Structure 1
Amino acid sequence: MWNIFKKDLLTISRDRSEVIMLLGMPFILISILGFALGGLIEGETSISQIPVALVIENDQEADLADFEALLLEQGIPSEAIEEIVAGAKGADPAQVFLDLLEDPELEELIGLTTYEQAADAAADLEADEVVAVITIPKQFSYHALASIFLNEEPESVIELAVQDREQIRASVIENLIQTFTDRYNLETSILVANDGEPIEASFAEQDFGQVTTVSRAKPVTAFQYYTIGMAAMFALYVGATVSANAFKEKDTHVFARLIMAGERPLRYLTSKAIAATILTFMQLTILFSLSNLLFGTFSGQSSKYWLGMFIITFTFSFVIGGLATLLTAITLQSSQDTVSGIFSGGVVTILAFLGGSFTPVEQISPFIRALGNWTPNGAIMTAYMQLIQGFELTSIMPLLYRVIVMAVVLIVIALIIFPKRRIA
């Protein structure tokens, strides 16, 4: 058994194409994806400023004067008019909307330019210099205040012109105005219903429960994510590589000669499982070490963290050993070397997608994430991520138990279908 195990290690290590596949390719992908998609994984993506034109045709002072004259026409006492006008200055929707647009928190989102002429703004919209044109029409304040305080029908609204309503940036501006309008109407309706007095909510001293503070998980960097993701994906190729070597041994009658020399079939299968387990552990260790050395992926971690990494890595190596055992058993029953090819060409890609090697699948569908956690690589990826985020090892153990059960099931199936006698 030791000789078979040693032969597998030497055969794979001396095969340049296999070394490139198991170590070179994942490391190249780690480097490319870590740099290219760092902002996406770490939530640092940003959009450029949305250029917006603002045309103000409204004259607030003139509108307030016209509104005061309207109140006099209604026969309202002068003392009441003074109070209404004073309140109207603070409730003027035009000014409230302008204050919103000039809010510092919106500066990074909206690049606002004020135009004196509506025609100039329309021309820039046509030339795609701006995404939208917001117009505050004449007597907007007057009609809005008359609607609020005198219950008159509003005759003017904030106008929005966009070149393409399907553009995301145009939708952002449209949603901003709609949200402002809905919120302003709600607040003014409450004030009017309460005779202009703000609503004060008071609660009796009651026990409404207990507030528990939950610590936030540590963020996962792009290099951490893709180091784990690519390692989990390319570890699956170890199983295919070992089974492909088994077929070569069968095709060249090496397996038959071993059986004739007294080697037990189960010892042969066990050697393949051990070889795959050790190869996977070596592969993961090298990838993690190189990533940490060049990119500082896991720098500054405690000894407790590294103990968790060791346990998870060994568990994953064990299930890959079980996978290699099953693929080897199927391969030795086959007349052609199609098993490792199908597994490498299609099954690995599917497992990698479900497991989240390419992208966090929980952003696509929680169902895919749940399904992925029932694959060996997906469950191990989740375990690694939880460890990086600061989860206790006891919280991760259920996932590891699941993977161990998967390995045992794979080995049992392999033993059932593995040929117990010489294969022709």
Structure 2
Amino acid sequence: MGSFIKKDLLVFWRDRKEMLMTLLLPIIIIVVLNYAFAGIFNDDKEATKLDIAFVQVDDEEKGFVQFKEKIQQLGLSQAEKETMLEHVENLSPITLIRNFINNPDVKEWVNAKELTWEEATDQVESGELDAIIRVPEGFTYEVLSTVMLGDKSTTALTIHAAKQSTEVTTLQNIVNEFVNSLNMNFALGREGTLSAAEPVLPQGGREVVEGIDTYTISQYFIVAIGTLFGLFLAQSVALKTVTEKRERVFNRILLTNSNPMHFLLGKTVSTFILAWLQLMITITVTQLLLNIFPDKSVSFWFGMVLVFTSFSLMVAGLSAIFTSITLNLKDSNAVSGLTTLIIMSLGVLGGSFFPLEGFPELLQRIGEWTPNGLTMIAMIEYIQFSQFSDLLLPIVVLVAMSVVCFVIGMFMFPKRGRV
């Protein structure tokens, strides 16, 4: 059987162009995608800071005077008026907004400075500032009337920006959440329970649980692209059989009284060797170039190699089926189309083109049992928890799948006289 393995490896080696594409293309794609998406899926520590202006057009003192005059005109008892005025003394909407902007959590990604409206608009137009938070005229009076008396407000805190961006949208969302919490605190104040404490700010960002590492988009790419090209390698090796079939290599093997199964085993073992080498080269080169798995221990790499070795066995089993299909079908275009359809289906369902989380739950369940999907899920959990025990079941399933595929390939393999 060793001669058959050597034959298939030499056949693949002689096609230098295809060999280079098989080994280099996944590396190139991973590097390109990593840099293309680096600005979108960047780490929190590298988040862009926003430069904003805080513009107060409203006269806060005037707003308090107007509201107190309005209270005196209401048909309330003197005790009720005094109680309401006491609550108002502890309320300052603009001060709360200013404290929010200067909150340490907000200042980590927002640089704010107080300017006039003219200065702020000029700096936004020149690109010095990203956005303006504007407190319009009558804001204090409107807010106090709304939260204390239930009047309808026609004045709102506004955000102005020269262009929309992800950061500006995030700022809008957080300010909206802050205003909602502010309204809630003021509403509680109407029940007599408002304290002068700072309102709770909306929480955002990424929560990191102790002992759990999050996986990055680069780590997703290396698993997704690596497994996808591994599947295509099964097709490449199997399609080499078309040339051997055309040149009647298989018939000559039969005439030598060799066991036909050695031919299939040669294809299977050579596919395993090539798939394993492809994955190891891809992981090694991308790690050296991009440091995709920083500060990982030797035991982590050992577990990773075991997972991809199991996946390579699955690819080898798949090549046995593809080889048998190639020998049974007379039209090489039909063989290429059918095998491509199978691989593309596995690629889509297994999350090699986009994460499984984007699928409906039913398709997610199906995708988790594809070879590449199972490898993806296993690696994501392993990256996060680094528990070797989590790899045992996926490894066993992948090996079992490879055995089942090889057995199917054996049953599909043509008998003597049928080729």
TM-score by length of 1: 0.79
Correspondence for 2:253: 258
Gap change, CA 1:294 and 1:364, over 3 Å in 2: same
Cα distance in 2, alignment partners of residues 63 and 221 from structure 1: 50
Cα distance in 2, alignment partners of residues 152 and 302 from structure 1: 61
Cα distance in 2, alignment partners of residues 382 and 79 from structure 1: 63
Correspondence for 1:395: 390
Correspondence for 2:61: 61
The question of 1:142 aligning with 2:137 is answered: no
Gap change, CA 1:165 and 1:86, over 3 Å in 2: farther
**Is the deviation greater in 221-230 or in 18-27?**
221-230
Cα distance in 2, alignment partners of residues 117 and 214 from structure 1: 43
Gap change, CA 1:384 and 1:57, over 3 Å in 2: closer
| Contact 2:131–2:162 (Cα < 8 Å) also in 1 | no
**Is the deviation greater in 344-353 or in 377-386?**
344-353
**Is the deviation greater in 218-227 or in 373-382?**
218-227
Cα distance in 2, alignment partners of residues 34 and 197 from structure 1: 49
Cα distance in 1, alignment partners of residues 100 and 233 from structure 2: 58
Residue by residue, what CA displacement relative to the aligned partner does 1:329-377 show, whole Å, maximum 9, x if unpaired? 1100111223552256444344333333344332566555433221112
Correspondence for 2:274: 279
Consecutive unaligned residues in structure 1, runs of 5 or more: 200-212
Shift of 1:221: 4.4
Q: 2:183 aligns with which of 173, 182, 185?
A: 185
**Is the deviation greater in 6-15 or in 291-300?**
291-300
Shift of 1:190: 1.8
Shift of 1:398: 1.9
Cα distance in 2, alignment partners of residues 159 and 37 from structure 1: 34
Amino acid at match of 1:394: S
Amino acid at match of 1:273: T
Shift of 1:258: 0.6
| Contact 1:136–1:157 (Cα < 8 Å) also in 2 | no
Gap change, CA 1:86 and 1:308, over 3 Å in 2: same
Correspondence for 1:307: 302
| Contact 1:356–1:378 (Cα < 8 Å) also in 2 | yes
Cα distance in 1, alignment partners of residues 166 and 296 from structure 2: 41
The question of 1:19 aligning with 2:14 is answered: no
Shift of 1:65: 4.0
Residue by residue, what CA displacement relative to the aligned partner does 1:221-259 show, whole Å, maximum 9, x if unpaired? 454433333221111122112211222111101100110
**Is the deviation greater in 89-98 or in 233-242?**
89-98
Correspondence for 2:34: 34
Q: 1:404 aligns with which of 399, 403, 414?
A: 399
Cα distance in 2, alignment partners of residues 339 and 323 from structure 1: 17
| Contact 1:319–1:403 (Cα < 8 Å) also in 2 | yes
SS of the residue corresponding to residue 332 of structure 2 reads coil
Cα distance in 2, alignment partners of residues 177 and 281 from structure 1: 52
Cα distance in 2, alignment partners of residues 360 and 31 from structure 1: 18
Shift of 1:423: 3.3
| Contact 2:58–2:140 (Cα < 8 Å) also in 1 | yes
Gap change, CA 1:214 and 1:186, over 3 Å in 2: closer
| Contact 2:125–2:162 (Cα < 8 Å) also in 1 | no
Amino acid at match of 1:267: H
Shift of 1:156: 4.9
Gap change, CA 1:163 and 1:233, over 3 Å in 2: same
Q: 2:351 aligns with which of 356, 364, 384?
A: 356
**Is the deviation greater in 154-163 or in 271-280?**
154-163
Cα distance in 2, alignment partners of residues 111 and 346 from structure 1: 52
**Is the deviation greater in 389-398 or in 53-62?**
53-62
Cα distance in 2, alignment partners of residues 45 and 336 from structure 1: 56
Correspondence for 1:320: 315
Amino acid at match of 2:245: K
> Structure 1 vs Structure 2: percent identity of aligned residues?
25
Gap change, CA 1:131 and 1:19, over 3 Å in 2: same
TM-score by length of 2: 0.80
Residue by residue, what CA displacement relative to the aligned partner does 1:379-402 show, whole Å, maximum 9, x if unpaired? 122223333334322222222222
**Is the deviation greater in 12-21 or in 32-41?**
32-41
- Provide the aligned C-alpha RMSD in A: 3.9
| Contact 1:42–1:220 (Cα < 8 Å) also in 2 | no
| Contact 2:303–2:391 (Cα < 8 Å) also in 1 | no
Cα distance in 2, alignment partners of residues 396 and 157 from structure 1: 58
Residue by residue, what CA displacement relative to the aligned partner does 1:146-201 show, whole Å, maximum 9, x if unpaired? 5545x3635652253768999867755654454333322222222322465699xx
Gap change, CA 1:198 and 1:112, over 3 Å in 2: closer
Amino acid at match of 1:228: V
Task: List aligned pairs for 1:9-408, cutoff 5 A.
Answer: 9-38=9-38, 40-41=40-41, 43-44=43-44, 55-68=55-68, 81=82, 87-107=87-107, 116=116, 135-149=134-148, 151=149, 153-154=151-152, 156-158=154-156, 160=158, 172=170, 175-194=173-192, 215-298=210-293, 300-338=295-333, 341-342=336-337, 345-362=340-357, 368-408=363-403
Amino acid at match of 2:388: L
Residue by residue, what CA displacement relative to the aligned partner does 1:204-224 show, whole Å, maximum 9, x if unpaired? xxxxxxxxx964422334544
Amino acid at match of 1:227: I
Correspondence for 1:420: 415
Correspondence for 2:205: none
Cα distance in 2, alignment partners of residues 113 and 396 from structure 1: 52
Consecutive unaligned residues in structure 2, runs of 5 or more: 198-207
Cα distance in 1, alignment partners of residues 290 and 133 from structure 2: 47
